[in-house]
Amino acid sequence: MTAFARPDRNLHRNLLARITDGTLWLIALLHVALAACLVAALFFVAEADAQDAVQDGECGGSNVLTALAKSDPAKFAALEAEAAAVPNGKGIFWKIEKDGIAPSWLLGTMHVTDPRVLALPSEAPGAFEAASTVIVESDEIIDEKKSAAAILMRPDLTMFPDNKTIADFLKPADREQLEAGLKARGIPLTLVARMKPWMIASFVALPACEITRKAAGASFLDKKIAEDAVGQGKTLKGLETLIEQLSAMDSLPTELHLRALIETLALGKTIDDVFATMTDLYLAGDTGMIMPMMKAVDTTSSEDFGYADFEQRIIVERNRTMATRAEPILKDGGAFMAVGALHLPGKEGLVELLRAQGFTLTRAN
């Protein structure tokens, strides 16, 4: 049995800004990737408490930045300055141009079913209608049965081997915290014990209303875009396979995933506030503020355990792959590209990578 030290309570908070994109995509995939028993379990996750929120289209939670601006204006101003320094940290919708070809478009998405997110920036619907080709992270999301079959053929990516369970990797105190946290969400540990920790973390990290919508079959933004593309007879192309995405997450150390899982549970209702704030920032097109916001959740420093590895494998390498595979499609012009919003900003984000390929990118919202 491998035992890990009790996790730093601030680790997940400091990592979550980067982990969010990969994790939210995986959350969105749960209704495809998991066995029927897990899908059934999702219906028990605070279903009664989530009904009003589902009807209203909102998940509740308070914006932590609004409170911070009132309680500590100087600290809030510092966060704004930090966000302003992030390259391409403003805007989730970009126009892609190159001499001699029709313009294309790049939309940063949030992999959720929130109706406010599904509404798209006001400039995007017209660009989508005019596009002949639609690009998403994985075009496999359009066929749930085929996707599920492909993923179930690789249980090594989602399940512990040799009848091991997550309890084999936890100290007793951490197991108790995990069991209590899952129980509070209506999920018995025995139901998910063989799942790898990032799989479990991916559905305890969201408010109950979002999980309920997904369990009821609602399409997250990327899937809706893909469905609309096929429905309108457009060419649909993917930049990655589902197995590539799952393999990237699975390649990270188990200890990192375990710590993130325990810390997600330890956040309790704070995760609702973090999620609400992240959604507000997305809707405002302020992706550069997400990381500073996450740091503001807690002021104490923490060990940077596994962050560099996570960023390299899940963000940087995937950005490069997506940019390389998108280039020949974008060279034909008339494309509408939609990928997770946290892939856009930064020196190694997609906006800069596409510019390096000779495209001109201009913020369009």
Q: Which residues pair with 236 in a beta bridge?
A: 134
The confidence score (pLDDT) of residue 7 equals: 36
The confidence score (pLDDT) of residue 25 equals: 39
Answer yes or no: is 107 within a domain: yes
User: Count of alpha carbons within 13 Å of 314, Cβ hemisphere only?
Assistant: 26
Domain that holds residue 279: 11-363
The confidence score (pLDDT) of residue 203 equals: 67
The confidence score (pLDDT) of residue 242 equals: 87
Answer yes or no: is 2 within a domain: no
Answer yes or no: is 140 within a domain: yes
Q: Which residues contact 43 (CB under 8 A, 6 or more apart)?
A: 212, 215
Task: Give the max Cα distance, the chain.
Answer: 64
DSSP letter string over 137-183? S-GGGG-HHHHHHHHHT-GGGTB-STT--GGGGS-HHHHHHHHHHHH
- Looking at residue 195, the DSSP 8-state letter turns out to be B
Answer yes or no: is 76 within a domain: yes
Answer yes or no: is 1 within a domain: no
Number of structural domains found in the chain: 1
Give me the helices (H) in 219-348, please. 221-231, 242-250, 254-267, 270-283, 290-296, 307-310, 317-330
Q: pTM value? A: 0.83
Nearest to 234 by CA among 133, 141, 152, 128: 133
Answer yes or no: is 173 within a domain: yes
- Mean pLDDT, each 10-residue run in order, the chain (365 residues): 36 42 40 36 41 51 92 94 95 97 96 91 96 96 81 87 92 89 82 88 75 80 95 97 87 84 79 88 93 66 57 87 98 97 93 98 94
Answer yes or no: is 162 within a domain: yes
Please give the Cα distance from 281 to 123 (Å, whole number).
Answer: 18
Answer yes or no: is 337 within a domain: yes
Nearest to 237 by CA among 129, 142, 312: 142
The confidence score (pLDDT) of residue 261 equals: 85
